[in-house]
Amino acid sequence: MRKYLLCMTVLASFVFNACNKESDIEKSLNAKKLSDVKVPEGFTWESSRNVTFNIDITDNSFGNLLSVVAIYGPDSKLIAKGSAGVGKPFTTTAYLPNTITEAYIIRTAPDNSNTSEKVTLNKTDINVSFAKSATTVSNTKSGNKVLATSPNCTSGCDQTVAINNNYQTITISGGKTFCVSGSNKVINVSFTNGGGTLRLCGSNITIQDLDDNKINDPMKIVVTEGATITFDDKNNKATNFNQNNNTFENYGTVTFNGGINLAGILTNNGIMNVVGEYSTETQTDPQTIHTNNGSITVNGLMDVGSNSLFYNNGSIKTTDFRVFNHATFFNYCKLWVTNEYDHSTIMKNYGYIRVDSKTFINGTSELGQYNGAQLTTKDIKINGTIKGYNNTSLVKVTNETELTGAGTITGALQYCDANGLEKNLGTINGGATLACSLLVPISSCNPEGNGTPTIIDTDGDGVPDNLDDYPADATKAFINYAILGGADAGATVTFEDMWPIKGDYDLNDVVMSYQLKIISNASNTVVQVDGNYTLTARGGIFHNGFGIEFPITRSAVSDVTGATLEAGQTKAVIILFSDMHKEMYYMNTRLEDPKSPSVAYSFSFKVTDGTKLSDFGLNEYNPFIWSQDAGRGAEVHLPGKTPTSLANTSLFGTGDDKSSPSQKKYYVTAEGYPWAISVPIKSFTYPIEGKDIITAYLKLPEWITSGGTKYKDWYSNTTNDYRNKENLFVP
């Protein structure tokens, strides 16, 4: 009996605590002010995190000359840049928004050739090594297109099917999504009334006789990331999936034995192997559109025709290739034809085409070469037109050219046939020249390139002029930005100024947006810092000053312009102003008041102690305010940031502050509330006077209670369910 009562007591306690926890969460989500939101233990209030990149170069093709490594976010905004060579890695730490989950690392060699790699930012240390320029397409974006995220079989499924037996039939109907998993099985698939979606998550699954499906309702097949699927007709015929409204998406590895005939929409983000003919079928509504963002190999003819559109952003290798019957092919990366290329319509080449045998440009058709594109072929017969657009492109013939009377070579084009044009009855005009000197850099898409680059290093710092941001200054080489994104981006830091007493949490007492430019030399040593800050609001009643502490000693700084290097500090502290009331007349926090123009501050200083970029970092550093009314020592920092040497640490633990230097805990209350926050956008819209920030940013409570895992874009998403515009200062 006592054991039973003990168990009941424990159970009751568990239920009470669980309900109480649920009550805390519900209370937080229904809160009317920030101080009612339950803050998880250890929550840092950071919308960004530090990621360290270590980039090695093992390619010794260029001796002591350095390559440049540039790291970009998915929106093509610069994260960091520096030099690297054999035995001289590039290392840096960048403070990246939590919304950024991938990056693109591009290594540019002294000859302008480049290789690139896409990395997932699922850890704090990213290590990448670049050998000699790759001969295959890197798994990165091409033509400014980013690969989509693969769905899975754990969410979004109307029905989940586990394959247990061979020749099991999966029947899909009613427009529903069927998620199928299993391994090493042969199955049949039947689409019936209403169509639907087949989502495949298994390994080594074979689907036979898919062409038995003849309905006109929408049919969709999705091969998910990591899945390996084979489509195999029992009679060795091509797989037909060419009814109206068909969609095929591949994120894994898929093989078509016997070939494929497919109308509708095809998107390949993974690996696709076709044994037989690859054919785009006729369809006008909707139009047949095939897009390759990954790799396609065709052991046979790739036949693109019948008014279809084909976008190649990745790599295609095929035995024979034909574009005909009003189709249009856009090649943004690499197309390799091991036998014959036959072209009777429109080809737009922005990348690289290689033909190992003969190329036919037939009458009335056009091969458009754009922005330094390259076609290399053994033989070519030109009955139609080859035309260069924008920057000069290259056609390179290694054996024989036949330019017929109907053929034309024109535009921004260099035509290279080292043996001369064996048969020349056509027209060469519009700026086209017969020459072989055009420099086409080797890249992830173009492993061949052309010409020999002239490498010039005017300042002798080891970084070629074409890669040097300061080609005539040996003391400087690269520009980095903190926060990421180049000169048009930045961040915002907002303060409550009542410390050590809680404020009203409208977080508009001091609002500063900023962007910092960190200049380094060829050895990735920081040599200069340029800052651009803007005071946009001063909603506080105190006479607040503003400064930034940098991670170097005060003695390492010289030649300060546009600001004051504060005396009495151990580290370098730059002061922009000491009384915001003298900087801005009106507060810019009440819509009924007149508005003051924002106040801009630009400063610069040199760094002389040889600090490496990897140690200096690319982040917000340590911005702070202090109140003239309370004294210089009454500093207010972001949560977790340390005070400067001039701070009055005797104020720690007074009022609502629960800073504890021994626990490395700074500028938070006992409940975990801050006096300042930072967001990684420059155009942050702050609340109007007296309006608690959670009444303006509606997803902020869930971001907090989830420990920062939910609604990571709470500050930037402008949709109505994210923000209440009536409580935001929008003049």
Strands 564-565 and 676-679 turn out to be unpaired
SS3 of 549-579: the string is EEEEEHHHEEEEECCEECCCCCEEEEEEECC
In a domain, 67, yes or no: no
At 144-171, the pLDDT tens digits run 344 578 999 988 999 999 998 998 989 9
Q: 379 Cβ partners below 8 Å, 6+ apart?
A: 357, 358, 359, 397, 399, 400, 401, 402
Residue 639 has pLDDT above 50, yes or no: yes
* Cα distance between residue 211 and residue 166, in whole Å: 19
* Mean pLDDT confidence for 328-342: 97
* Mean pLDDT confidence for 587-613: 97
In a domain, 664, yes or no: yes
Q: Indicate the burial class of 638 (C-beta count within 10 angstroms; 0-12, 13-18, 19 or more).
A: buried
**C-alpha dihedral sign at 286, 289, 293, 299:** positive
At 357-408, the pLDDT tens digits run 999 999 989 999 999 999 999 999 999 999 999 999 999 999 999 999 999 9
Other beta carbons within 10 angstroms of residue 165's beta carbon come to 9
Nearest Cα to Cα of residue 533 among 583, 586, 607: 583
Residue 460 has pLDDT above 90, yes or no: yes
In a domain, 108, yes or no: no
SS3 of residue 714 by DSSP: coil
Task: Identify the bridge partners of residue 396 per DSSP, sorted by sequence position.
Answer: 376, 416
In a domain, 60, yes or no: no
Q: Are 508 and 494 in contact (CB under 8 A)?
A: yes
Domain count, the chain: 2
In a domain, 569, yes or no: yes
Range of the domain at 532: 490-727
Q: Are 614 and 523 in contact (CB under 8 A)?
A: no
SS3 of residue 12 by DSSP: helix
Angle at 686 between CA 681 and CA 692, to 5 degrees: 130
Other beta carbons within 10 angstroms of residue 430's beta carbon come to 13
Q: Are 502 and 35 in contact (CB under 8 A)?
A: yes
Q: How many CA atoms lie within 13 A of 621 on its CB side?
A: 25
Q: Are 127 and 103 in contact (CB under 8 A)?
A: no
* Cα distance between residue 564 and residue 545, in whole Å: 12
At 207-260, the pLDDT tens digits run 987 755 667 788 899 999 999 999 987 666 778 777 667 899 999 999 999 898
Average pLDDT for the chain: 90
At 69-117, the pLDDT tens digits run 999 887 778 899 999 999 999 999 999 999 998 999 999 888 777 888 8
In a domain, 459, yes or no: no
For the full predicted model, state whether its pTM sits above 0.95.
no
In a domain, 363, yes or no: no
Q: Measure CA 221 to chain center.
A: 27
Residue 574 has pLDDT above 70, yes or no: yes
